[in-house]
């Protein structure tokens, strides 16, 4: 290592550069000879271990102008057939924040891919000290940019078709793309019309995309329940899966809220409301019996009653039925 004996100049941190990808044959002397042409050097060093050069080093110039000249001329150039990277050096203290606070992210490297995958599956979304962790595989810059472009294109596509793309179902089996386009062409400019197929057969639904939301709205109003072929169409705005799921959940919750708000009018405490959410009409015990027993069976149930000993033909037996009201007494049985 070659260095300026005045330590105050070396510790000023002005003019220090970092070099990597150095050839193994380059030592501190060769480094000094190469970079001294750009300005006065305070110190230079190639980092070594017991096996020799580790492939990187430092050069400290007296002025910042010398640093800029060296970076401009030699960064990316070949030194002994090795492409050298040269840049401004930052110490570990400079890289950390002044308050020495965590930047909120970090990296964990595993030896095996299986361990990495398991860590992502188990730790992503986990709570730690009141915060939810985000854990994912580290991506290269190019890979991350490609993924962001894809997400942006996906978002742009969603925005582009918002309010202009119609979902059409209950299609006749004979309808194809051209017929679908023809049926909807009266309402505006169609950018695409597609009947979804599987194995060469229609799946019974498709999509029609207009150039403006106004055209799509008009087509939806006019074509909904319109019979094409042998079936009435269902026409609505196309929704993403997440939006449709949220809409169906909201509808279900509204129905459940309406059902739970209706009081149970059943007078018989042993007759619970059916699970469907609809309630049966209030009935008296006489009605319940009449629904399940004939008159002769009623007589067998009550042998002590007057009609049990009489010879009464079934068709002459009639039970007068009516709902029991709070002001009325129990309804009597009468025979004709």
Quick one: 189 exposed, middle or buried, by C-beta within 10 A (0-12, 13-18, 19+)? Answer: exposed
Cα 208 from Cα 312, distance rounded (Å):
72
Tens digit of pLDDT per residue, the chain (336 long)? Answer: 555 555 555 555 678 888 888 988 888 888 888 888 888 888 888 998 888 888 899 999 888 888 888 888 888 888 888 888 888 876 655 445 555 677 788 888 887 888 888 999 999 999 888 889 989 888 777 777 787 777 776 666 555 566 789 999 999 998 899 999 999 999 999 999 999 999 889 999 999 999 888 999 999 999 999 999 889 999 998 877 776 677 678 778 888 877 766 555 554 545 554 444 444 444 444 444 444 444 444 445 455 444 444 444 444 444 444 444 444 444 444 444
Q: For the chain, how far is it from start to end, CA to CA, in angstroms?
A: 128
Residue 44's alpha-carbon distances to 18, 76, 95, in angstroms, are 10, 19, 22
Do the Cβ atoms of 65 and 12 come closer than 8 Å? no
| DSSP-derived secondary structure for 251-278 | HHHHHHHHHHHS------TTSPPPTTS-
Sorted by where each begins, the domain ranges of the chain are: 2-92, 162-237, 262-336
Say what the pTM is.
Answer: 0.33
Strand partners, 132: 127
Do the Cβ atoms of 139 and 147 come closer than 8 Å? yes
Instruction: List the structure tokens of 67.
Output: 């640093």
**Cα 76 to the chain's mean position, in Å?**
43
Asked whether this chain's domains 2-92 and 162-237 adopt the same fold, the reply is yes
Do the Cβ atoms of 164 and 188 come closer than 8 Å? no
What residue ranges in the chain does DSSP mark as E strands?
Answer: 2-3, 16-20, 41-49, 52-61, 78-79, 82-83, 85-88, 127-128, 131-132, 165-169, 190-198, 201-210, 227-228, 231-232, 234-237
Residue 7's alpha-carbon distances to 10, 42, 312, in angstroms, are 5, 9, 129
Do the Cβ atoms of 187 and 215 come closer than 8 Å? yes
CATH number of 162-237: 3.30.70.330
CATH class for the region spanning 2-92? alpha beta
User: What is the widest separation between alpha-carbon atoms in the chain?
Assistant: 135
């Amino acid at each position: 290592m070659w260095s300026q004996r005045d330590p105050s100049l070396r510790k000023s941190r002005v003019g220090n550069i970092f070099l990597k990808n150095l050839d193994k044959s380059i030592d501190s002397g060769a480094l000094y000879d190469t970079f001294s042409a750009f300005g006065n050097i305070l110190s230079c060093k190639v980092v070594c271990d017991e096996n020799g050069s580790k492939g990187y080093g430092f050069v400290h110039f007296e002025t910042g102008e010398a640093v800029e000249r060296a970076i401009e001329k030699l960064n990316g150039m070949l030194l002994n057939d090795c492409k050298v990277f040269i840049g401004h050096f930052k110490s570990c203290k400079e890289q950390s924040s002044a308050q020495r606070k965590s930047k909120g992210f970090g990296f964990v490297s595993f030896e095996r891919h299986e361990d990495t995958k398991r860590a992502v599956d188990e730790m992503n979304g986990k709570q730690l000290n009141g915060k939810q962790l985000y854990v994912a595989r580290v991506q290269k810059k190019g890979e991350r940019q490609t993924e962001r472009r894809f997400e942006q294109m996906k978002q742009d596509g969603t925005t582009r078709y918002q309010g202009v793309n119609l979902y059409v179902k209950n299609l006749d089996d004979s309808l194809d793309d051209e017929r679908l386009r023809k049926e909807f062409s009266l309402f505006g400019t169609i950018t695409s019309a597609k009947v979804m197929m599987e194995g060469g057969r229609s799946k019974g639904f498709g999509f029609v995309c207009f150039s403006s939301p106004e055209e799509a709205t008009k087509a939806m109003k006019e074509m909904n329940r319109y019979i094409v072929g042998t079936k009435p169409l269902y026409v609505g705005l196309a929704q993403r899966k997440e939006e449709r799921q949220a809409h169906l959940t909201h509808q279900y919750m509204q129905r459940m809220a309406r059902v739970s708000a209706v009081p149970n009018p059943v007078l018989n405490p042993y007759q619970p409301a059916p699970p469907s959410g609809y309630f049966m009409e209030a009935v008296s015990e006489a009605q319940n019996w009449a629904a399940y027993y004939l008159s002769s069976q009623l007589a067998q149930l009550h042998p002590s009653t007057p009609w049990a000993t009489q010879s009464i033909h079934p068709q002459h037996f009639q039970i007068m039925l009516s709902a029991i009201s709070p002001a009325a007494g129990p309804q009597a049985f009468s025979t004709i």
